[in-house]
Chains A and B, each alone.
Chain A
Amino acid sequence: MSAIQELIKEIKNLKPVPAVVNQILEVVDNPDSSMAQIAEIIQYDPAVTASVLRTCNSVYFGLKTPAESIKDAVNMLGIDQILEIILMKSGAKALSGKQEGYGLHEGAMWKYSVSSAIIAKQVAQKIKLKNKNTIFTAALLKDIGKTVLDRFVKDSFEKISAQVVDKNMSFREAEKKVIGLDHAELGGMIAKMWKFSPKMVNIIRNHHLTDISKVKDKEIAVVYLADCICMMIGIGVGSDGLAYRFNDQAMEVLGMEPDDISIIIAEFAENMQKVEELLNVV
């Protein structure tokens, strides 16, 4: 069996995301959907409801009276916060393990995913993009391909590394060359299998701007920039290092100057403590 056939077999064995996530993703960034509609979807999933309430009532959120229903929770914390909790809970299972091939200890990939999602949302807000929940979700799940590719990266690490060092390739380009598939491409395949929207599949697949024409899509450019910022501040950087490509054009598309990036980093750093606490409660 070729590596690609093996990979396809592996992604078929992945646990699917809960159905409620797909339903939520369908409505979150639709301007016609209401808060009540979203609360409705969630409350019919008892497992998700229970776990969301447990998180909302944790010390982290400091609610004066405990939320007893999803509607309570939405009223107290706002719909965006509740959505983020649900999305993070759904992603945590798939992303919290250690990635030996990429040199990430247990929890490092998860911290990276959540940080990317928060930074992507910060950028989306700064440039006033509408679909901030889609962007948050795409940034959260963009590296799902790494969790499957990890074993293959581990087996071929020396070959991949040699391409990076000797041929000046990016780590992603080297993955593609040595294994036949890279983690972004594989992530796109997984997202498709999970029946995510074509938009979400597109962002995940292109989060390293493999197809350079995609740079004009602001949602892709935001998720891409969030990834670059994480690398700069040393989050989620493993044995692949910072060997990915930086694209000036993406900054132009987003209207981001170097100082804007510094400001985003400073804002994120200020919230880092809160992020660490959030990682513990979700």
Chain B
Amino acid sequence: MKVSDDQKHNIVTYSLGSCIGLVIYDPFAKVGGMLHYMLPDSSIDKEKAKKNPYMFADTSIPRLFKYAYSLGAKKQRIKIYVAGGAEILDQKGFFNIGKRNYMALKQMFFKNNVIIHKQNVGGNVNRTVRLEIATGDIFVKTSGSKEEKI
């Protein structure tokens, strides 16, 4: 996870696979952050979640927001972008970690009245995401194609 208000910064997360890349940005405060979590639920291993909370949706998402608030971002101004959560062909039910990663985030956002501004999730493609702190511009590179501004 990275959060910044340094206008020279670019935050990148590479090769998401079934992981989720969550980008938040407050255009007024020019504060942005990015999170790359791998698994939906920390209940499988509380010890690991303590040591590395950024691995799981439930333990990492609140931290991303709190850190951004500490740099001056405000909930009502924050724009949210979600990428990743891809799946292998025929990966169904609970084995579909990509979809479960996305659902974990959706549930948390629903409970907290948070709306996703834009997203590029699911499918069988791999994604790399970049955020420019100065402008709030977000770029996505999907496997086999060039980087695109969204």
CB contact list, A237-257 vs B, under 8 A: 237-248, 251, 257
Contacts of B143 in A (CB 8 A): 103, 237-241
CA gap between A237 and B39 in the complex, in Å? 18
Q: How large is the interface on B (under 10, 10 to 19, 20 to 34, 35 or more residues)?
A: 20 to 34
B17 A228 Cβ-Cβ under 8 A: no
Q: How far is the CB of A107 from chain B (nearest CB, A)?
A: 13
Contacts of B52 in A (CB 8 A): 269-270
CA gap between A172 and B143 in the complex, in Å? 16
Q: How far is the CB of B121 from chain A (nearest CB, A)?
A: 13
B87 A242 Cβ-Cβ under 8 A: yes
Q: How many residues on A have C-beta within 8 angstroms of the other chain's C-beta atoms? A: 36
B86 A242 Cβ-Cβ under 8 A: yes
A244 B88 Cβ-Cβ under 8 A: yes
CA gap between A173 and B86 in the complex, in Å? 20
Contacts of A257 in B (CB 8 A): 94
CA gap between A243 and B126 in the complex, in Å? 10
Q: How far is the CB of A270 from chain B (nearest CB, A)?
A: 6
A241 B86 Cβ-Cβ under 8 A: yes
Q: Does A17 count as interface, using CB distance less than 8 angstroms?
A: no
Q: How far is the CB of A256 from chain B (nearest CB, A)?
A: 9
Chain B, residues 42-82, CB within 8 Å of chain A (1/0): the string is 00110010011001000000000000000000000000000
A262 B39 Cβ-Cβ under 8 A: yes
Contacts of B123 in A (CB 8 A): 241
Knowing A235-B17, A242-B88 touch, does A265 contact B124 (C-beta < 8 A)?
no
Complex partner residue of A247 from B19, B41, B90, B93, CB under 8 angstroms: B90
A228 B88 Cβ-Cβ under 8 A: yes
Q: Does B38 count as interface, using CB distance less than 8 angstroms?
A: yes
Contacts of B51 in A (CB 8 A): 270
B19 A234 Cβ-Cβ under 8 A: yes
Contacts of B38 in A (CB 8 A): 233, 265-266, 269
Contacts of B48 in A (CB 8 A): 266-267, 270
Q: Does B136 count as interface, using CB distance less than 8 angstroms?
A: no
CA gap between A251 and B86 in the complex, in Å? 19
Contacts of B88 in A (CB 8 A): 228, 231-232, 242, 244-246
Contacts of A164 in B (CB 8 A): 124
A237 B15 Cβ-Cβ under 8 A: yes
CB contact list, A2-39 vs B, under 8 A: none
CB contact list, A205-237 vs B, under 8 A: 228, 231-235, 237
CA gap between A234 and B128 in the complex, in Å? 10
Q: Does B92 count as interface, using CB distance less than 8 angstroms?
A: yes
Q: Does A166 count as interface, using CB distance less than 8 angstroms?
A: no
A242 B126 Cβ-Cβ under 8 A: yes
CA gap between A242 and B88 in the complex, in Å? 5
Chain B, residues 93-110, CB within 8 Å of chain A (1/0): the string is 111011000000000000
Identify the B interface with A (CB < 8 A).
Answer: 14-19, 38-41, 44-45, 48, 51-52, 55, 86-95, 97-98, 123-126, 143-144
Identify the A interface with B (CB < 8 A).
Answer: 103, 157, 161, 164, 168, 170, 228, 231-235, 237-248, 251, 257-259, 261-263, 265-267, 269-270
- 25 pairs of residues in contact across A and B, judged by CB atoms under 8 Å: A157-B144, A161-B144, A232-B17, A232-B97, A232-B98, A233-B38, A234-B15, A235-B15, A237-B17, A237-B126, A238-B126, A240-B143, A241-B144, A244-B89, A246-B90, A246-B92, A248-B95, A251-B95, A258-B94, A258-B95, A266-B39, A266-B44, A266-B48, A269-B38, A270-B51
18 additional contacts (CB under 8 A) given A232-B97, A246-B89, A266-B44: A157-B144, A161-B144, A170-B89, A234-B15, A234-B16, A234-B19, A234-B126, A235-B15, A241-B86, A241-B124, A241-B126, A244-B89, A245-B88, A258-B93, A259-B44, A262-B44, A266-B39, A270-B51
